[in-house]
C-alpha cells in the first residue's frame, strides 16, 4: 500500500487542469510537485474527499450488514442476506484509506508543523481519528503505529492501542484549534471545504467524536463513563447549524484520477446509489411504516423509500400524459423471505422500459403458482392470455417491466432501485444537472418515465454526514437512560427525532426549486404530517414509557447509511436481548431462511457472540498474503473463516475477553 503514498500529488495535477476545485489553482511548483512543495491548503481538500470515499463504502457495506439495504451484488448480498461473509467486501475501505488518505495526513501534519499552521495540524489529527477509528471498527487489529512510515511490512496493533491513539489525536486537535496560527501560515478557510475554516465547528466536531467513541465502551464497566460523555456532548454540536457535512454536487463531469468516479458527488451515493444493485430492506421499511407497531407512516418515508412511475399512459408524441407514483416495498431477508426463497438470494431483477407494447410469455408448470401469478397480474390490471401452462402478458408502451421469461421476476418492479443519477453517470447526454432521477434508458427519459426517485441520504447531491446534532441527541438519550434518568433521556430522544426532521426539511427546502422541480421526493415534507407523527404512538409519548429500543430504532432511521448503526448493533448484541436489562433492542433482526454463513458465524445461539457479524477479515492480499508473519503473530486467527464473528476490542466487556480471542 505504501507505494501509492503520494497518489494525491497526481490527483492535484490531473484535476487541477480541469479547474474542478478552487484549491487546485495554486502550487509552489505546478509542473513538478513533490512531497515538500505541495501546499497544506491544497492537500486538505483531497484528504477530505478521499476520507469521504473510504467512509462511503464502509457506510454502505455495513448498512447491508445492519439491515438498512438489500443488495443484489454477490459480495454485498453476503452481508444483507446469506451472512456468508465474503472477503470481496474487505479491500476497498482499507485501500482507499491507506492509499489515498492516511499517508497524506502525515505529510500535511508535518508540513503544517513547520509553518506553524496549527489548524491544519489539527485537521490532520481529526481525519487521523476518523479514519483509523473506522479501520478499528471494521478490522479490529491492523497496522497503526508503523503505518504510513514507509515500512512495507508494518506490524499491526491491537484495538486498544488504536482506540487510545485516536482519542489522543482528538485531544491534541482540540488544543491546536485553540491556538493562533503563526504569521504567514495559510488560513484554514483556504483549504477547508467542510467547515469553511470555522474553527468553532471543528472544535465541536472533536468533542462530538469523543462522545461517539466513548460510547463504544458501553460494555466496559471499567472504562465507560457516562458523565464524561455528557461533558463532551455539552461542548459538541448544539443545533443542526453545527452539523459537519461535506457537500455533494452535480456540477462537474470530472472523474476521479484514482478510482474513476465523479469527484464532487456524495461518498455514500458512490456505492449505495451509483448503480442498480441496492433496494430498501424490509427491516428498514417496517421502521418507517410501523414503528412501535403503531401502523403510522413516518413523514420521512417518502423521502427515503424511492418510487417509480406506474400506470403510465403516453400521449400521441410518446410523452407521459398520466401516471401514478408507486412506492417501493422492502426486500425481505430476515423474515419469511418468500420471494428470495423462490428465486435465490440475489434474484431480484432490475426493470426496463417498454417503448412499445411488449409481450412476454411465462411458462409456469405448477398449477398453484400459475393461478397465483394470474391473480396477481389481474389485480394489477395487466392484459394477458393463457394457453395451457403459458401465460403471456402484454406490457403496454410506457410500462416498467422485467425483460425475461421467469415469472418470479415479473413482480420485481415493486422493489424500486435506490439509484440516482449524476451528470457523468446518467448515460443520457441531455439529462440536466438539476434532474437526478434515474431513467432506465434514453427512451424512458425521452418519454419522461422515472425509474427511481432515489433516497434522501444517497443522492449525488446529498450532504455527506460526518457528525450531526441528531446523533449527539440520541447519544445523550442513551446515556441518560443508562443512568436511570428517563426524564432527561426522553427530552434528548424527542430532540433527536426533531433534529433529524429539521435537518431533512432544511435540505429538502433548499432542493425545492431545483431538484424538487422534477422529483417530488426532493420537496419538503408536509408540516402537518410531521406534527401528526410526533404526536402518534410511533413515538414514545412519555418518559415513563421510553425504552432503549425506542431510542435506538429512531437513531437507526436518522443515521441511515452509516457505520454507526452496525456499531450500535454490536454494542447491544443485535437482537439477543442480553445487554444491561434493556431487552431486545433490534426486534426482527436475525439470521433469515437464506442463511448459509455457518463457516463464518459459528455461534449457535443469539447469546453467543459468534452468532453475529462482528468484524471484517483483513484484506487478504495486503495483510494476509504479504504481511502474514506480522498479522498472524498478533492474531493467529486473522485468516480463519470465522474471523468475521470475532469481537473487536471495544465490543468486549474486558481486556481478558478480548485478548482471549487473540490466543
Which residues are CB-contacts of 63 (< 8 A; sequence separation ≥ 6)?
69, 272, 560, 561, 562, 563, 565, 566
In degrees, rounded to 5, the angle at the alpha carbon of residue 341 between the alpha carbons of residues 338 and 347 is 105
SS3 146: coil
Residues 245, 377 within the same domain: no
> What local confidence, expressed as pLDDT, does residue 150 receive?
81
259 pLDDT band, cuts 50/70/90, is confident
21 pLDDT band, cuts 50/70/90, is very low
Span 532-539, average pLDDT = 98
Q: Tell me: do 312 and 232 sit in the same domain.
A: no
Mean pLDDT of the 419-425 span: 95
Contact 75/118 with Cβ under 8 angstroms?
no
Mean local confidence (pLDDT), 202-211 = 98
Burial call 160-189: b when 16+ CB within 10 Å, e when fewer: bebbebbbebbebbbebbeeebeeebbebe
Q: 230 near 476, Cβ under 8 Å?
A: yes
The residue with cell 470515499 is 53
Structural domain of 37:
2-249
**Mean pLDDT, residues 327-349:** 98
What is residue 34's three-state secondary structure?
A: coil
pLDDT the model gives residue 12: 36
Tens digits of residue pLDDT in 604-662: 999 999 999 999 999 988 788 888 999 999 999 999 999 999 999 999 999 999 999 99
Closest of 522, 515, 406, 550 to residue 456, by C-alpha? 522
φ and ψ at residue 130, rounded to 5 degrees = -60, -45
- Segment 347-352 shows an average pLDDT of 98
pLDDT at 624: 86
pLDDT at 30: 56
Alpha helices in 397-547 (DSSP H): 442-447, 469-482, 486-511, 527-534
For residue 20, the 8-state DSSP code is -
d(CA 449, CA 437): 10
Q: What are phi and psi of 291, to 5 degrees?
A: -60, 135
Which residues does residue 452 pair with via DSSP β-bridges, in sequence order? 438
Q: Give the least confident one: 35-49, 279-293, 302-316.
A: 35-49
Judge whether 577 lies within some domain: no
Q: Contact, 628 vs 619, CB < 8 A?
A: no
Given a cut of 60, whether residue 112 has pLDDT beyond it is yes
CA distances from 416 to 163, 239, 594 (A): 40, 34, 21
Measured at the alpha carbon of residue 82, what is the angle toward residues 77 and 84, in degrees to the nearest 5? Answer: 95
Angle 118-139/40-66 helices, nearest 10 degrees? Answer: 20
Confidence of residue 20 (pLDDT cuts 50, 70, 90): very low
* Residues 310 and 234 occupy one common structural domain: no
- Asked whether the beta carbons of 400 and 406 are under 8 A apart, the reply is no
Cβ of 659: how many Cβ atoms within 10 Å?
A: 13
Residue 403 located in a structural domain: yes
Q: Is the pLDDT confidence value at 299 over 50?
A: yes
Q: Is the pLDDT of residue 472 over 80?
A: yes
Contact 624, 631 (CB under 8 A): yes
Predicted pLDDT at 18:
33
**In the prediction, which pLDDT does 6 show?**
35
Q: Is residue 500 part of a domain?
A: no
Residue 493 forms part of a structural domain: no
Q: Nine-digit cell at 619? A: 484484506
3-class SS letters over 312-329: EEECCCCCEEEEEEEECC
Residue 429 DSSP symbol: T
pLDDT value of residue 625: 84
Summarised one tens digit per residue, pLDDT across range 142-151 is 999 999 888 8
Question: Do 215 and 90 belong to one domain?
Answer: yes
- Grid coordinates representing 433 are 444537472
- 426: in domain: yes
Q: H or E stretch including 657?
A: helix 655-661
Between CA 109 and CA 656 the distance in angstroms is 36
pLDDT at 103: 86
Q: Name beta bridge partners: 331.
A: 281
Q: Is 351 a domain residue?
A: yes
| Confidence band of 571 (pLDDT split at 50, 70, 90) | very high
Cell numbers that stand for 413 in this block: 418492479
The answer for 150, left when phi > 0, alpha when psi is -120 to 50, beta otherwise, is left
Residue 28 has pLDDT above 90, yes or no: no
Residue 247 has pLDDT above 90, yes or no: yes
Can you give the three-state secondary structure of 558-593, one letter per residue?
Answer: HHCCCHHHHHHHHHCCCCCCCCCCCCCCCCCCCCCC
Q: Write the DSSP assignment of 251-304 as a string of letters.
A: ----B-TTT-SBSSS-TTHHHHTSSS-EEEBHHHHHHHH-GGG-----TTHHHH
Same domain for 71 and 212, yes or no, is yes
Percent of the chain surpassing pLDDT 70: 95
pLDDT digits (tens, 9 = 90+) for 473-520: 999 999 999 999 999 999 999 999 999 999 999 999 999 999 999 999
Instruction: Give the angle 655-656-657 at the CA atoms, nearest 5°.
Output: 90
Among 587, 574, 611, smallest CA distance to 335 is for: 587
Widest CA span of the chain, in angstroms? Answer: 86
User: So what's the pLDDT on residue 32?
Assistant: 65
For the chain, how far is it from start to end, CA to CA, in angstroms?
28
Q: Classify residue 447 as exposed, middle or buried by CB count within 10 Å of its CB (0-12, 13-18, 19+).
A: buried
Taking phi over 0 as left and psi of -120 to 50 as alpha, with beta for the rest, 648 belongs to beta
Cα distance between residue 459 and residue 370, in whole Å: 39
CA atoms within 13 A on the CB side of 404: 12
Instruction: Report the percent of the chain where pLDDT is more than 90.
Output: 90
Instruction: Tell me, yes or no, whether 59 lies in a domain.
Output: yes
- Domains: count for the chain: 2
Same domain, 180 and 39: yes
Q: Compute the distance between CA of residue 198 and CA of residue 67 in angstroms, rounded to an integer.
A: 36
pLDDT digits (tens, 9 = 90+) for 388-398: 999 999 999 99
Over residues 179-197, mean pLDDT? 97
Tell me the whole-structure pTM to 2 decimals.
Answer: 0.94
The answer on 150 and 40 residing in a single domain is: yes
Please tell me whether residues 141 and 214 are part of one structural domain: yes
Task: Please tell me whether residues 32 and 173 are part of one structural domain.
Answer: yes
Q: Which of 249, 271, 293 is the last residue of a domain?
A: 249
Q: Are residues 221 and 337 in the same domain?
A: no
- Whether residue 586 lies inside any domain: the answer is no
Residue 102 belongs to domain with CATH number: 1.25.40.390
pLDDT digits (tens, 9 = 90+) for 359-408: 999 999 999 999 999 999 999 999 999 999 999 999 999 999 999 999 99
Is residue 26 predicted with pLDDT exceeding 50?
A: no
**Same domain, yes or no: 70 and 150:** yes
Residue 582, CA atoms < 13 Å, CB-side half-sphere: 28
Mean pLDDT, the chain, integer: 94
**Gap between the Cα atoms of 477 and 468, Å rounded:** 15
Angle at which helix 548-559 crosses helix 486-511, to 10 degrees, equals 20
Q: Which residues pair with 246 in a beta bridge?
A: 464
Last residue of a domain, one of 220, 249, 278: 249
Residues 165, 47 share a domain: yes
Q: Cα–Cα distance between 310 and 324 in angstroms, integer?
A: 5
Residues 312 and 449 sit within 8 Å (Cβ to Cβ): yes
Q: Which of 402, 427, 454 is the last residue of a domain?
A: 454
**CA 420 to CA 443: how far, in whole Å?**
17
Q: Tally Cβ neighbours within 10 Å of residue 104.
A: 26
Grid cell, residue 307, equals 418510487
Amino acid at each position: 500500500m505504501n507505494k501509492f503514498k503520494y497518489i494525491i500529488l497526481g490527483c492535484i495535477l490531473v484535476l487541477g487542469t480541469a479547474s474542478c476545485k478552487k484549491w487546485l489553482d495554486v502550487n509552489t511548483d505546478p509542473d513538478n510537485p513533490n512531497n515538500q512543495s505541495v501546499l497544506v491548503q491544497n492537500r486538505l481538500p483531497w484528504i477530505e474527499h478521499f476520507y469521504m470515499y473510504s467512509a462511503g463504502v464502509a457506510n454502505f457495506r455495513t448498512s447491508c450488514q445492519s439491515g438498512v439495504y438489500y443488495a443484489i451484488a454477490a459480495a454485498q448480498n453476503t452481508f444483507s442476506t446469506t451472512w456468508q461473509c465474503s472477503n470481496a467486501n474487505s479491500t476497498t475501505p482499507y485501500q482507499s484509506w491507506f492509499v489515498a488518505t492516511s499517508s497524506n495526513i502525515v505529510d500535511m501534519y508535518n508540513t503544517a508543523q513547520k509553518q506553524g499552521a496549527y489548524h491544519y495540524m489539527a485537521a490532520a489529527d481529526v481525519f487521523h481519528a476518523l479514519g483509523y477509528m473506522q479501520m478499528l471498527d471494521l478490522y479490529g487489529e491492523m497496522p497503526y503505529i508503523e503505518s504510513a512510515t514507509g515500512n512495507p511490512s508494518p506490524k499491526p496493533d491491537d484495538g486498544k492501542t488504536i482506540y487510545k491513539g485516536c482519542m489522543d489525536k482528538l485531544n491534541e486537535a482540540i488544543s491546536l484549534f485553540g491556538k493562533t496560527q503563526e504569521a504567514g501560515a495559510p488560513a484554514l478557510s483556504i483549504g477547508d471545504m467542510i467547515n469553511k475554516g470555522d474553527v468553532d465547528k471543528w472544535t465541536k466536531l472533536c468533542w462530538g467524536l469523543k462522545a461517539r467513541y466513548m460510547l463504544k465502551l458501553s460494555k466496559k464497566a471499567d472504562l465507560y463513563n457516562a458523565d464524561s460523555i455528557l461533558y463532551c456532548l455539552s461542548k459538541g454540536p448544539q443545533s443542526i447549524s453545527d452539523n459537519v457535512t461535506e457537500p455533494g454536487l452535480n456540477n462537474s463531469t470530472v472523474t476521479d484520477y484514482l478510482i474513476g468516479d465523479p469527484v464532487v458527488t456524495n461518498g455514500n451515493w458512490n456505492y449505495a446509489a451509483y448503480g442498480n444493485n441496492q433496494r430498501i430492506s424490509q427491516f428498514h421499511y417496517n421502521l418507517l411504516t410501523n414503528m412501535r407497531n403503531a401502523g403510522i407512516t413516518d413523514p420521512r418515508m417518502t423521502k427515503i423509500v424511492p418510487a417509480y412511475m406506474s400506470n403510465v399512459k403516453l400521449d400521441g408524441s410518446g410523452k407521459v400524459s398520466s401516471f401514478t407514483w408507486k412506492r417501493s416495498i422492502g426486500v425481505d431477508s430476515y423474515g419469511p423471505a418468500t420471494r428470495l426463497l423462490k428465486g435465490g438470494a440475489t434474484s431480484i431483477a432490475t426493470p426496463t422500459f417498454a417503448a412499445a407494447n411488449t409481450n412476454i410469455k411465462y411458462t409456469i408448470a405448477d398449477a398453484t403458482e400459475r393461478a397465483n401469478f394470474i391473480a396477481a397480474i389481474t389485480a394489477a390490471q395487466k392484459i394477458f392470455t393463457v394457453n395451457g401452462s403459458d401465460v403471456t402478458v402484454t406490457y403496454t408502451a410506457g410500462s416498467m417491466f422485467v425483460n425475461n421469461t421467469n415469472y418470479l421476476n415479473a413482480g420485481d418492479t415493486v422493489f424500486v432501485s435506490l439509484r440516482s443519477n449524476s451528470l457523468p453517470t446518467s448515460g443520457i447526454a441531455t439529462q440536466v444537472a438539476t434532474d437526478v432521477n434515474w431513467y432506465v434508458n434514453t427512451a424512458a427519459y425521452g418519454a419522461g418515465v422515472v425509474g427511481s426517485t432515489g433516497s434522501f441520504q444517497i443522492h449525488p447531491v446529498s450532504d455527506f454526514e460526518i457528525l450531526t446534532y441528531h446523533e449527539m441527541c440520541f447519544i445523550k438519550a442513551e446515556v441518560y437512560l443508562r443512568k436511570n434518568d428517563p426524564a432527561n433521556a426522553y427530552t434528548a430522544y424527542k430532540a433527536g427525532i426533531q433534529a433529524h426532521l429539521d435537518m431533512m426539511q432544511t435540505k429538502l427546502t433548499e432542493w425545492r426549486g431545483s431538484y424538487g422541480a422534477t422529483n417530488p421526493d426532493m420537496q419538503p415534507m408536509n408540516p402537518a404530517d410531521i406534527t401528526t407523527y410526533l404526536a402518534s404512538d410511533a413515538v414514545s409519548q412519555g418518559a415513563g414509557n421510553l425504552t432503549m429500543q425506542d431510542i435506538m430504532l429512531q437513531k437507526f432511521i436518522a443515521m441511515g447509511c452509516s457505520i454507526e448503526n452496525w456499531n450500535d448493533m454490536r454494542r447491544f448484541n443485535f437482537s439477543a436481548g442480553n445487554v444491561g436489562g434493556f431487552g431486545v433492542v433490534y426486534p426482527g433482526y436475525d439470521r433469515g431462511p437464506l442463511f448459509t454463513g455457518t463457516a463464518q458465524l459459528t455461534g449457535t445461539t443469539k447469546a453467543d457472540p459468534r452468532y453475529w457479524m462482528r468484524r471484517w477479515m483483513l484484506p487478504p492480499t495486503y495483510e494476509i498474503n504479504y504481511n502474514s508473519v506480522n498479522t498472524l503473530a498478533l492474531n493467529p486467527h486473522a485468516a480463519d473463516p470465522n474471523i468475521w464473528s470475532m469481537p473487536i476490542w471495544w465490543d468486549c466487556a474486558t481486556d481478558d475477553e478480548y485478548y482471549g480471542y487473540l490466543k
